Structure formats: C-alpha cells, structure tokens
Structure 1
C-alpha cells in the first residue's frame, strides 16, 4: 500500500509541472493531463485511507488495486520524464556544432527542425496519454466491478500473540538469560527509594519479554503489588490500565485496606478514572510493574501518569523495539537503559541443539551446516528456536539441513513452521509510518553482511524519490529529511548502527541483521520492489523489474534477452557482477547506478550517454579517461560519487563542467578539478577539493553550497586569501571540513561580518591553525567544532563558551611554548551552556580548571595528561561538572617515572570517587615505551609527585 503512495508522491508534482505553462502543450493534451492529475489525486486520497488501516484489515482486492496503481504510476512517470526530455532536447549532444550542422544553424534550419521534431514528439505523447488514460480508467473500473462481489470475511477468532509462550518458559529451558537477568536484577535492587524505570530495547525476537519476565518472577515476591501487561502495536490504553488496576488489586489493596466494591465496574471507567484508581491503590505500596512491548511515546505518557513515585523503592520495567521510546522511559532520575545483545555463539549453539535434540550435545556430522544456519540466525533467540523447531520435525541428514539453510536465504514464508517468527517481525514492519516502509525495503538491494554507508544510502533514497520532496525542498533539505528517516530506522531496531559520529552521535553506516534482511527480501519479492540476481537459477518475474541487485556469485549469471529491464530504476552490482550486467541501452529509465567497475565486456564507455534519466551515479575501481569524458554527457545527473574510484591521472576532465544540474560531487583526496568548477552553480556538496589557483577563487560562485570539504590550505598565501574571500560569499554553508593543510590562518576575511553565519559543523583534521578565528563568535548555530590551534587564550574560551548551540568540542593546543597563558579557567563568563561532549588535548604548557556552574549539560569529558609536565596540581574542578557521566583520561608517560605515573593515576581515581554523579572512568597510557624506570633508591620514597617548587625536573609544569 505504502509503495503505491510513494509512487504517486513522485508522479503528481511532475503532472502539475506540465500544467503551469512551461511546456507548450496542445489543448487536448492539457485536458488529458488535467484528467490524469485529478484522477490520480483521488486515488491517492483513497490510498491514504487504506494505508492507515491495520494490514490484516485491508482486503486482497484493495491490495491488488494498490499494486496495479503503483505499476501504473511508475509507467506514467516514465512517460512524463521522456516527454520532458524530448521537448527540452536535454539529451542532445551539447558539444559545439561543426561542419554541415554549423552551416544549417546559420540559416536557421536547426530551429525549424527542432520545431518539427517537437511537434512530432507532442503528437506521440498525445497518443501515449490516450493509452494511459484508458489504463487509469480500467484500473478504477476494475476495482468498482469487483466491490459488489462478496469477499471472504476475516477470521473473527481471537488471535493468540505468539510471544505469550515467553511468559511461561521453564527456567531450565532458558539459555543465555542468566547474565542479563543477573545484571538487571542487581540494578533494580539497588538501595534507591525513588521510582526506577528500566528500559529493555532490542530487535523483535531478541528475548526482551523473556528477560523481563525472568526478572519479574525472580524479584516479584519482594514487592507488595505486581503487574505484568502487554501494550502491543495498537494500544488499547483503557484495557491496559484496567489490567494494571486488576492485577495490583489482587492483594485487595485499597487506601483503607478493605476490599474495593467497585472492582466490577472497572471496565466502565474512562482512562482518567482508571489512573486515579491505580494511583490510589499504589499510594503507599512498594510495587513492581512490567510494561511489555511498548511501541510509541504517546502510550507511555498516559501510562506513566499512573506510576506514582511514593519513595518506597518501586520498580518498573519497559520493553520496546524503539530506542527513542526506551530513552524516554528511562529519563527519570535513576532510570536505566538496557540494550539487549544477541546470544553469543556458544549460547546460540546450546539453544539450537537443545531445541532440536532436547539435549546439549554436539553432533559432528551436522555441526558444519548447523554453524551456517546459526550464523544466519545471528544470535536472535526467536530465529534459533523457530529454525530448530522446524529441523526437529525433519530427517537429521546433511541434505535436509542444507535444504533448510538455503530456504532461509530466500524468504521467511517457505514453511508454515516459520509463521510465528514472521508474524513477530512483521509487526514492526507494519507499524512503520508509510514514508519509512519503502526506504526500509530498499535495503533488500544490499547483500548479507554488507556495510552500508549512510550518506550513500540517503542519496539513493533521494534519487529514487523515496524521500518526500513535494514541498519544494532543495537537495540538502531532502538529505536532512532522509537522514532523519535513517535515524528513525535505527531507533526502531531495524538497522544496526555502525561507526557512530563523535560530533552528532549519528551512525555513519549501518548493517541489516540477516533475519530482518530475510523478511525484507520476502516482502520485497511479494511487492515486486527488488529483483535479486544472486543465483544461477534466476527465474525472472512476470511483472516489470523496477530495481535490480547483481551480486557476485563466483559464476556468471546471464540475464536472458527476453527479460525486460527497460523499466529498471536502480541497478547495484557488487564484486565482479558488473562484468555480466546487461547492456546499458536496455535500461531506458535508470535513475540510480552503482557499479564496482566500468566498462565491461557487455558495455562500452560510450553506453553511459544513453542514460538520460540517470540522477545518481557511483563508480568504484579504476576509471579511464574515456569513462570520465562520457560522464559529462549525463545532463540530468544530480549526484556523482567517485570517492572510492581511482581516477585516471588523478584529474577530472573538462567535460564534468557540462553537468549543470549536478548538486553533489564526491571525489577522493588528490583528484584535481578542472578549470571552471564555479560554473556548476547548483552544487550543494563537494568533497574533497584542493585549494589551488584554479579553484580557490571559484568557490565564491557556488552560493548554494551546504557542505564543503577542502584540503591544501597554508601552501600558498594568495590561494588562502582567495579562499577566504570566497568563503565570505557562502551564506548557505552548513558544514566546513578542512584536512591535510599546513599551518594557516582563517582570520583574514575582507569583511569579518560577512561570514557563513549558518555554519553548524567545522572540522579541521591534520591541520593546525595559528589561533581560533575571531569570526567564530558570529556562528550562533555552530553545533560541532574540531580544531587544533597553536595558541589558546582566556578570550578564546570566552568566545567558545558563549556559542549557544555548541554541543561537541574537540580542542587541541599544538606546539610547545606557543601558548601565552598556562592556567586557563572556564568560569561563569564562558558557561558552554549546551556542551555535551568535550575533548581537550595539549602539546603545550597549559591546563584547564572548571569553575562551579559551567558546562551544565556535559556528559562526556576526555582529557590528555602529560605526567612529566605535572607538578602536583591535580585539582581541575571535576566535581563542578554535575552532569558528567563518563571521563576518559589519556596519560602520556613520555620520560616520566613509573612511580609518577602510578601516583597521578591514583590521585585521579580518588578525585573521581568523590564525584557526586559517580561517573565511569576510562584510563589509558600513551608512550609507555619511553617511560623511565624508577631508581633503586627511590623505591623507599613517597609515591607522591614532586612538589611544585622541586627543581629536579625542569619540565614538570602542569597542563590541565
């Protein structure tokens, strides 16, 4: 259903653009387009109504109608795109006219020929529109014809939640639960008298309910009142509250200790009355309540109103698949977040064999295939139990087990025994908002165990129209929206985050659990969303192929000429699969192309010019000059990613300048840009580009730039000045990243008031700046800053501390003897009111002292400590950082004695032990190879550091 909605969302704006007068349409054609637009808008409204219904309430007839409508929308969009290209002549060769064509251009024949050609195009489009109109009418009429036919009534029998068995598992049958259960029980039995809420979050089927129930059974007898309720996907808040009230009343607890005569009327109370009754019952009782399977924050906000904090040491456990919900529940003082991990290999094997053979023994003849099956299950108990139950009923032979293993890679619906697992995992999918489902299903285009780059994935979503752009958003705004989709999928435990960014805490990549990928492949096949050519026995679908995965399978997979790939929108080829990819001329409407290498035996570089609809191109491997030249013919290309490619001669050709629609250009460091890069006026993102004479001055013409990644500053003063002049023009810049540059200054702006005031992120890596630029004080939206400076002063800290949005700061002082002020104090005039993470490193004689009331939100602090420059002044005011949760200390042992290092570490630990917030400490040593051994005579001396006036070590100055 949602896929049809997404298809219509991409089509309707294009139909609207044809009616605004930009295209010289015949009157009859305009009427046809207006009819199509009106009809499709009404169909979209009907789809929106259906998409809000539970999946099991949508009839098969409506599902078929939505499928037909999706395919029809794609076909109409292809026709509209073709019309726009033909009328605009956008696919004509833009190179300079020569010979006979130059002559006929002089006498005006080319313009006349274009008019004749456009007239033919419009007549052809009129005929196509007539055919499309008939198809639209037929799709609508077919639905009307069959609505009068009685459809099969849904099963009205009560549906048994397959997770209910988790509540009644015998303790001896549980595997891998002891450790998490012990830790959670220990946490809940701490001596705090306040209400504590512990959240358990993780993938569906990971054992959240089992863990919660284990702890509930273990600790329940210690509490006066207990309740265990399941909220589920579509919460019935009244039923949930009634269940809590009924269970906590099982001890006949009322405010006066007498039996409440109103119990029988609980079902007639509204939620407000139920909440009042629960609070009244729990007012003076120590209670333990489990809220299982919570899906959204709105339900929690109501339920928590009933959970009174009566200072009797009450406890609540919440289980959820949504990380955002888990954090929300655990926010009260003393709350805890437990992210459930998959089972270890040993526990997975034990659970598997226990379920198959009812014992723990290892069976050597089946162990190898069992290992492959368990790898597919990925430590998810539900998957292990489900597959083990399936195998328990089958012959115990390698052949049969291999057959089951192969079936796991092609969908979860191959065996009825797998139904419970599919139901549980599908619950999460069907609960997703409509805009997330196509983005999630797009992940079925990637093979197992694939490391998926977030930025690349979001760009593909945008290129395919899966990110809603109906409000006229530009590329970067669409990217921001797509990134929010990515984060939401992480929070809902569908994708596993990788490579967490230190600045904003957002994962830079992700992977998809094999069990989830299996579900997505199954759903994708069912909805004809992705076709995967990763096996030799490829059987093409009878429906049109829209997205194609080509995966290297050691042997060539031949796509028959009879298979229609003309409607494919995305092609991704991994490994050597690009060698046997079909000829590019067969892909008439390709929008996304990602290849490991190019060209191949089936494709010549010149074939790229046929891809008139291409919006996103990523090429990896070696790229020759001819391939690079041909890329310049892709006139509608918006995103070009060559960041993982070896570019011929490390230089892009001049033809790249013809890509006037290009909005994102990504290359690796060392690839030079051609003259005229400033003419690509729509560019919003570029990386990495060298600051050199032919580029520095042209940056200023890229006024739409949002993210700029450069290197090579500090090598030529005139280039640096030209860059700074250009920087003054980039008023839309949000991210500036500088790498591999020499000692340089950014302070020489011609007009200090003309700065990129919207800048959110500044990151300087492998680059040292003379000092903090003064214009940083104008950056009221700066959120993340990473910078190394030669000089750091009290005024610099005052400037940074006043930035209202600064959340991440990584600050390094570079060289010995350049810092004018050694003791730097962070006081009330530099509060750093939004800072959450701070990393400070120095290679000079300076140190920091934190005053009371500063950095009120700081949770993570990392400090670098040179022992040989320390004179005993270890009091840096850590106790004033009241929100601190994690402290990292890096101890530089260079030329320090062992006793000095140990003494410093002991003092730091002691200082942290008395911190009111009890933060965790991570301490490590650096340069231990150069640490000096203690002299024999010193072993009997005090382990204290030298006194401040001790002249024995001239380099014993402190740094913090």
Structure 2
C-alpha cells in the first residue's frame, strides 16, 4: 500500500508542475490534468485509509487494487516525465546567428507538437484511471477505524551486549613470548546472535596493538578477488588502482609480502563454506609475531577446520540469558536515567521469550517499542500482532515474523527507501551518500517547505539506523555513519518483499529470465560473468533482447556484470544508473547521451573520452559521481549541466573553465585548483554550495587570495575540506575579512597550513575542525577555545613544524562544548590542562615521542578533565630503548589509573621497528 502511496506522492507533485505557466498547455489539456490530479488525490486518500490497517487485516482484493494502481501511477509518471524532458530540452547555442534563429523556429514547432501529443496520451491514461477508480468504488473503504500513531525517534545506539573480555583474553594469551605462533579463533552461532558485532568489538579493542589490520566480509557467494583486494588495501594502507583485475596469485603474493614482516590481525566475517576458507587462508602467513585471525561463521564444520588446533579457539555463541536480554531491550527502549515502568514487566517477559535470546530479534523489537508510548495496552497491541508463541525449534520463523512486523511498523515514506536496499549485493558496504542521492533521484523523498531534499534523505537514513533496521558502519566524528550494511536476514526479507511488490528485479549470474511483469528497477549482481569471444552477441548479453527494460527506472550493476555492459539505448526512461565495475581495459558504454531522463549517474573504472563527451546531453542530471573513475579531465560539455546539484570527482582530475555556469551545485568534491587554476575565479558564483572539497591549493599568496575572495561569496557553505601536500597560508586577507558565516566543518588532514586561520574567530557555527599546521602558538589555542559550538577538534602539527615547548589550555580558552580532542605532535611540545577547561570532553587522544620527553614526566593536568571516558596515547618509539618505552607507558597507566572518572585507556606504539637496541 505504502509503495503505491509513495509513487502517487511523486506523481502529484509533477502534475502540479504541469499546471504552471512554464509548460503553456492548451486550456482543454489543463482541464484534463486537473481531472487526473483530483482522481489521484482521491485514490491517495483511499490508500492511506487501507494502509493504516494491520497488514494481516488487508485482504487480497485490496492488495491487488493497490498493486495495479502503483503500476498505473508509474506509467503515468513515465509519460509526464517524457513530456517534461521533450519540452525542457534546450537548443544548443550556435555561432552563426541565422542557424541559431532557424533552430529556435524548429524547436518551437517541435514543442507545439509535443503539447498536442500529451493531449492524446492523457485520454488513454484517463480511460485506465476510470477503470481503476471504478474498482475502488466497488471495494468498500469506509468504516475503517485506526488508532492514532504516536512516534518518536530513538536517539541512542548503544553497543550490542556481548562478553568481549573472554574473547580478548583468549586471543591475547601467551603474549610476551619470544616466538608467538599465528592464532585463529572461530566464532560460531546461528544468524542474529551477534557474531559480527562481537568480532567487530574485539577487533576495535585490540587492533592498535598490530601493525597491519583488516576486517573483510566474505558472505554466501564470495568474490575471492574482491576479498583479497580489500585485504591488500587495508593491511598496506595504500590504494592499488585496478587491483581487482589482478589474478589471485598476484594478490596473494603481494598480501603475504606485506604480512611477512608485520604483526597483523584480520577478521573474516561470515564464511559459509570450507572451500571459501581454503582459498582465503592461502593469503595468510606464519611470521611468529603473534598475529591473530578471527573467523565468524554459522557452519560448525567451517569453524572447526579454520580455528587453531588449541583448546577453546572455537568460540560458540549462546543465546543471551533472560537478564542480559532484558538489559539489552531496556537499554534500547528507555532513555538514560528514565524510570522503568513496572507494569510493562510481564509483557516485556513475553517479548523476550519470543525473541529466544537472539540479539537481532531483541533489537528489532526494541526499535518497534521505542516509537510507541510506554503504556501497557500499546505494548500488548504490538505483542498480539506478532501471533502465537513459537516453539524452541522455530526460532528462525519467529525471527522472520519479528522482522516483518518491524517493516510493517515503518512510516510509509521509509518503506520504498528500505526496499531499495535490495538493489545492492549481500554484505555490500553501501555509502550513505549513494542512498541519499538515489532516493532523491527516484522521487522517494517528500519535499518540505524550507528543507533541502538531501537533508531530508539523510534524516530518512538516520531513522532507519535508529530503528536498528540497517547497521551503521564507519561513523564520522559527528556520529553519522558514512556507510551502512544490511544484516543478511533482514536483506532476505527485503528481497522477498521487493519481488512480491515488483519493486526490484535481481539478476544473479549471466542471464536474466524475463519476468511476467514490467521491470521497474534492475539490479545486476553477477559474480562470474565473462564474455566468451566465440559466443554470439545474444549469448554474451547479460540482458537478452527478449527482456523488455524500457520501463526500468534504476539500473545498478555490480560484480563482473560490466564486462559485457548492456546497451543503454534499451533503457528509455532510466533515472538512476550505477556502473562501477569496469575491468582494467577501456570500455565504452554506448548511447549514454540518450538517457535524457537520467537524474543520477555513477561510473567507475577506465572510461573512454568519447563517453565523457556525451555527459553534456544529460540536461536533467542532478548528481554525477565519477570518484572511482580512471579519468584525467572532465569534458568541456560538463558546464552545460545547469541542473547539476552534486559533482563528485577524483582529486587529480582537471576541470574545464566555465564551472561558474553550474549555479545549481550544492556539493562539489574535489576541485583540483592546481590543474584548473582558472576555476578559482568563477568559484564565488556557486552561491548554492553547501559542501566544497579543494585539492592542489598552491602555496602562492595570489592563489590563496583568489580562493578566499571566492569563498567569501559562498554564504550557504557548511562543509569545507582540503587535500594535497605542501604548506599553504589562509591568512593573506585583511584582518576585517570574514569567512563563510554558516561554515560548520573545516577539514584538512594532509595539506599543511602555516597557522590556524585568523578568520576562524568570525565563524560562530563552526563545530568540527580537523587541521594540520606548521606553526602553533598559545594564541591559536585561545582562538580555537573561544569558538562557541566547537565539539570536535583534531589538531596536528607538521613533523617539521614549530610550537611552544608547552601549551596551556586555560581559562582564556575553555573549549566549553568540546567532546572529542585529538592532538598530534611528536616533538617536545606538551599540553597542560588547567582546572575548569573542556568540561564536556569525553574522548582524548594524545601523541608524543619518548626521546623528546626529556624529563619523562606526564604532569598534564589530565585529572582536570572531569568528563573523560576514553583516553588514547600514541607513543613514538623512534630512537628510544625498549625500557624507555615501557617506563613511559607505565607512567601513563599510573596517571590514567588515578583519574577520578576512571576512563578507558588505549595505548599504541608508532615506529616500533625504529627502537634502539638495548
């Protein structure tokens, strides 16, 4: 029901647009459109009535009616979009005035023809609407009684309850010996018990004690080359262009070469078969440095063959006890310090009995209850909707029932967003921004006055996270997930619902069987798709010509499917296109420029220059992501994309002059000003920019001054990031010069600035700063400490930079809102914290060089940071004896040990191989 309602919402907005003077429709046609609008609004009201019924109370007839209505709405929207595209397509400007005049005359005649054509199409649509509307009259929608739905968001995401200490002790036993063998520990349990969560928590707890680290997902249908590529990138900390095109022998050899001399920890998550483990373990090496490997699996046989032949290395996860289950449930439902409601004890016990100690089920139930009143009748209504209790041997059926209930409880605007996740393969790390951009391009996001569509889509994403339906991965300093994963049990449910609703069609393998219904969204998830040169064109095709893809709105290809890219001319109304899996050789996707409906485009791999030239034809494109593409420059035609709102490209790509024409841009990342110096002049015209990434900023004062002049015009800018090398100054403007007043985030981790920019003092909304400087003085700390809403600060001093021997964080720079502080400087500088400063600081990370600490003391005033929960010290061992390093670590432990709030301490070493011999 909700999917039909979501489609209707998008259509109604477009019908409203057609009625504006912009399209200059005939009077009779405008009347017909008003009729369509009224009918659609009436059907939307009927759908809302039915959708408020419990899912099991909606009969088959109403479901069929809603399904047919959804398909009708899609067809109408396709027609409306086609008309809008034909009318909106501009005529190219020509140098010859007579030719330009002639083209405009032809354009006017063509558009008049299109306006007449829509009149005929509306008549056909009207007949279909009357048929569907007639059936609605025959099916009674009246007398539906629905209780009010009160919702709130769960603002907390506490860690899953697991006994980490036991597994850490198992992994780290025997440490300190001269010869420490590789240890492999297997975690085994049924799906949903929390194997991945346990492995991840343990990994995060001890990873800093290892020189090389990796966490990789394997899944049911593993792509071994991709797994090896991921391991290689993580353990080396480097990018290897086109490494997925290497053969396994090359990848394994390179991984073993790196691991041979490094103490390493690798987690292999979700291995399903012994054959997968046999292939994967070829990359591991015994280096007698105490390296660790963690394997998670549901298969006991896999667990047995993978773990080390030592007692207790096979770690079996049991369901949570009742008390632990209750602790997990209440931690999700109640706010910290909130009183537990005793009248809910009995119904809570019923919930937990049904969950069977499975954390995933408990978290899902908690997500349901957190959005309801804490009233006995509310909770019992949820419990009764789950059906009768299940026996012990039906835990998985019970889990699926709970997950389905969680889906039914979602608000209507979130359901299409969730089902869209079935477009991505199992265990895929899905970038948040990919979802945000595709949801907007598909029309899933409702417009709200005064709100940006992309901000609303981010809120949708966070709501799915808060409801524990998707798993956040790799959070930034503000706690926002950069990626997400979908638990495979939830993914199974999503795929099942998507197929049932004809929402997504998935092709796994080299061929797609033509479905009975129209394909609206197509996901090509090939794992071993190769083109046989001796085969016919039809035999090679991933999409045989018998498959009708003319109504496909989204096409996402992954795996090896781009080795035989489908002809895009068959996708007449495509809105979303993601082809990121091109192999090493250059590819040319034909007819890209014919996709006039395209709103979102993501391409990766090696791309032909001719393909890029076609980008200028995509006049309705809103988002272009070429970040993973192997290209040297953007085509000049890019500046014709006047509706483009997001442009994401590699840091080294040259951008043509004329970027000031892209006045709809809200996100631009990355703009290489070293290769595209002329673009700096026009930067100030992009007044809608909210996010800007700059690379290659020159050290010359004229370059920085031109950049700052443009920056001062960007009044809507919220996020500013820099990448590059060398040293640059942003203090070349007069003292009265002010930066973009609404700037919230400033990030530069590798480009070094001479000093902290003075104009930071004018940024009252700056909450997040990550900066690397060559010179740090007491006055810089005072400037940063006075920022009223600064909550995260990462401050690095260049290894060759200078600073005062001691910096005091005192009453003049209290950092009143700071919650996280990282300070990196391996010279003689040391921070001292006075009383009353940083009253909200919870996480502190400091670094120092042992040989640079002449007095060896650690009197930093750490005890004055009363809210501390986590403290991390990075110890640079360069030139130090092992005894000196150990003494320094002992003093740190003593200082942290007497801290009044007893924070968690993490110690790690840097350049341990550069220690002096005793």
TM-score norm. by structure 1 comes to 0.69
Cα distance in 2 between the residues matched to 1:818 and 1:486? 43
**What is the aligned partner in structure 1 of residue 798 from structure 2?**
814
Q: Does 1:120 align with 2:113?
A: yes
8 A contact 1:181–1:214 mirrored in 2: no
Instruction: Find the residue that maps to 2:848 and give its secondary structure.
Output: strand
> How far did 1:919 drift?
0.8
Cα distance in 2 between the residues matched to 1:713 and 1:622? 26
8 A contact 1:714–1:741 mirrored in 2: no
Cα distance in 2 between the residues matched to 1:765 and 1:845? 21
8 A contact 1:681–1:702 mirrored in 2: yes
8 A contact 2:364–2:468 mirrored in 1: no
- Residues 108-156 of structure 1, C-alpha deviation per residue, up to 9 Å, x if partnerless? x5444334323322221111111112222211111222439999xxxxx
Cα distance in 1 between the residues matched to 2:408 and 2:863? 48
Cα distance in 2 between the residues matched to 1:791 and 1:682? 38
> How far did 1:244 drift?
4.0
Instruction: Find the residue that maps to 1:84 and give its secondary structure.
Output: helix
Instruction: Find the residue that maps to 2:694 and give its secondary structure.
Output: strand
**What is the aligned partner in structure 2 of residue 478 from structure 1?**
453
8 A contact 2:697–2:704 mirrored in 1: yes
- Residues 159-184 of structure 1, C-alpha deviation per residue, up to 9 Å, x if partnerless? xxxxxxxxxxxxxxxxx99958999x
8 A contact 1:550–1:581 mirrored in 2: no
Picking from 814, 817, 821, the partner of 1:838 is: 821
Cα distance in 1 between the residues matched to 2:584 and 2:128? 39
Q: Does 1:637 align with 2:653?
A: no
Cα distance in 2 between the residues matched to 1:921 and 1:696? 46
8 A contact 2:503–2:520 mirrored in 1: yes
Gaps of 5+ in 2: 145-159, 168-189, 198-316, 335-339, 350-361, 377-381, 384-388, 530-539
8 A contact 1:230–1:292 mirrored in 2: no
Instruction: Find the residue that maps to 1:767 and give its secondary structure.
Output: strand
Q: Does 1:70 align with 2:70?
A: yes
**What is the aligned partner in structure 2 of residue 672 from structure 1?**
654
**What is the aligned partner in structure 1 of residue 440 from structure 2?**
462
8 A contact 1:177–1:211 mirrored in 2: no
Instruction: Find the residue that maps to 1:442 and give its secondary structure.
Output: helix
Q: How does 1:300-379 map to 2 (within 5 A)?
A: 302=374
Instruction: Find the residue that maps to 2:136 and give its secondary structure.
Output: helix
Picking from 669, 672, 678, the partner of 1:687 is: 669
**What is the aligned partner in structure 2 of residue 543 from structure 1?**
517
Picking from 649, 661, 667, the partner of 2:643 is: 661
> How far did 1:767 drift?
1.3
Cα distance in 2 between the residues matched to 1:291 and 1:620? 36
**What is the aligned partner in structure 2 of residue 437 from structure 1?**
415
**What is the aligned partner in structure 1 of residue 210 from structure 2?**
none
> How far did 1:738 drift?
0.6
Instruction: Find the residue that maps to 2:560 and give its secondary structure.
Output: helix
**What is the aligned partner in structure 2 of residue 450 from structure 1?**
428
Gaps of 5+ in 1: 152-175, 184-201, 220-227, 234-238, 249-289, 305-319, 322-381, 390-416, 935-960
**What is the aligned partner in structure 2 of residue 12 from structure 1?**
12
Cα distance in 1 between the residues matched to 2:744 and 2:687? 17
**What is the aligned partner in structure 2 of residue 798 from structure 1?**
782
Q: Does 1:878 align with 2:878?
A: no
Q: How does 1:402-801 map to 2 (within 5 A)?
A: 419-471=397-449, 473=451, 477-501=452-476, 503-535=477-509, 538-555=512-529, 556=540, 558-596=542-580, 605=589, 607-647=591-631, 650-692=632-674, 693-749=677-733, 752-801=736-785
> How far did 1:741 drift?
3.3
Cα distance in 1 between the residues matched to 2:346 and 2:775? 64
Cα distance in 1 between the residues matched to 2:193 and 2:53? 24
Cα distance in 2 between the residues matched to 1:15 and 1:247? 48
Q: Does 1:21 align with 2:14?
A: no
**What is the aligned partner in structure 1 of residue 59 from structure 2?**
59
Relative to 1, partners in 2 of residues 1:452 and 1:892: Cα closer, same or farther, differing over 3 Å?
same
Cα distance in 1 between the residues matched to 2:849 and 2:56? 64
Instruction: Find the residue that maps to 1:737 and give its secondary structure.
Output: strand
**What is the aligned partner in structure 2 of residue 857 from structure 1?**
840
**What is the aligned partner in structure 2 of residue 96 from structure 1?**
94
Q: Which moved more, 1:45-54 or 1:834-843?
A: 45-54
Instruction: Find the residue that maps to 2:753 and give its secondary structure.
Output: coil
Relative to 1, partners in 2 of residues 1:753 and 1:61: Cα closer, same or farther, differing over 3 Å?
farther
> How far did 1:762 drift?
0.7
**What is the aligned partner in structure 1 of residue 205 from structure 2?**
none
- Residues 439-498 of structure 1, C-alpha deviation per residue, up to 9 Å, x if partnerless? 11111011122222221222111111122225374xxx2222222222222232322222
Relative to 1, partners in 2 of residues 1:779 and 1:119: Cα closer, same or farther, differing over 3 Å?
same
8 A contact 1:637–1:661 mirrored in 2: yes
Instruction: Find the residue that maps to 1:294 and give its secondary structure.
Output: helix
8 A contact 2:718–2:742 mirrored in 1: yes
8 A contact 2:50–2:141 mirrored in 1: no
> How far did 1:788 drift?
1.2
> How far did 1:832 drift?
1.4
Instruction: Find the residue that maps to 2:775 and give its secondary structure.
Output: coil
Q: Which moved more, 1:654-663 or 1:492-501?
A: 492-501
Relative to 1, partners in 2 of residues 1:815 and 1:69: Cα closer, same or farther, differing over 3 Å?
same
**What is the aligned partner in structure 1 of residue 366 from structure 2?**
294
Relative to 1, partners in 2 of residues 1:115 and 1:691: Cα closer, same or farther, differing over 3 Å?
closer
Number of residue equivalences: 721
- Residues 307-333 of structure 1, C-alpha deviation per residue, up to 9 Å, x if partnerless? xxxxxxxxxxxxx99xxxxxxxxxxxx
8 A contact 1:605–1:626 mirrored in 2: no
**What is the aligned partner in structure 1 of residue 260 from structure 2?**
none
**What is the aligned partner in structure 2 of residue 848 from structure 1?**
831
Cα distance in 1 between the residues matched to 2:325 and 2:845? 41
8 A contact 2:875–2:907 mirrored in 1: yes
Relative to 1, partners in 2 of residues 1:148 and 1:602: Cα closer, same or farther, differing over 3 Å?
farther
Cα distance in 1 between the residues matched to 2:787 and 2:330? 46
Q: Which moved more, 1:774-783 or 1:870-879?
A: 870-879
> How far did 1:783 drift?
1.7
8 A contact 2:684–2:709 mirrored in 1: yes
> How far did 1:554 drift?
2.5
**What is the aligned partner in structure 2 of residue 131 from structure 1?**
124
- Residues 682-726 of structure 1, C-alpha deviation per residue, up to 9 Å, x if partnerless? 111112111243122121111111111111123433222211111
Instruction: Find the residue that maps to 2:752 and give its secondary structure.
Output: coil
> How far did 1:542 drift?
2.0
Q: How does 1:224-243 map to 2 (within 5 A)?
A: 242=343
> How far did 1:46 drift?
2.5
**What is the aligned partner in structure 2 of residue 31 from structure 1?**
31
**What is the aligned partner in structure 2 of residue 215 from structure 1?**
323
**What is the aligned partner in structure 2 of residue 268 from structure 1?**
none
> How far did 1:558 drift?
4.4
Instruction: Find the residue that maps to 2:900 and give its secondary structure.
Output: coil
8 A contact 2:364–2:406 mirrored in 1: no
- Residues 839-867 of structure 1, C-alpha deviation per residue, up to 9 Å, x if partnerless? 01114432111122221221110011222
Cα distance in 2 between the residues matched to 1:895 and 1:500? 35
8 A contact 2:583–2:605 mirrored in 1: no
Instruction: Find the residue that maps to 1:797 and give its secondary structure.
Output: helix
Q: How does 1:172-183 map to 2 (within 5 A)?
A: none
8 A contact 1:205–1:383 mirrored in 2: no
8 A contact 2:704–2:732 mirrored in 1: no
> How far did 1:69 drift?
1.9
> How far did 1:383 drift?
14
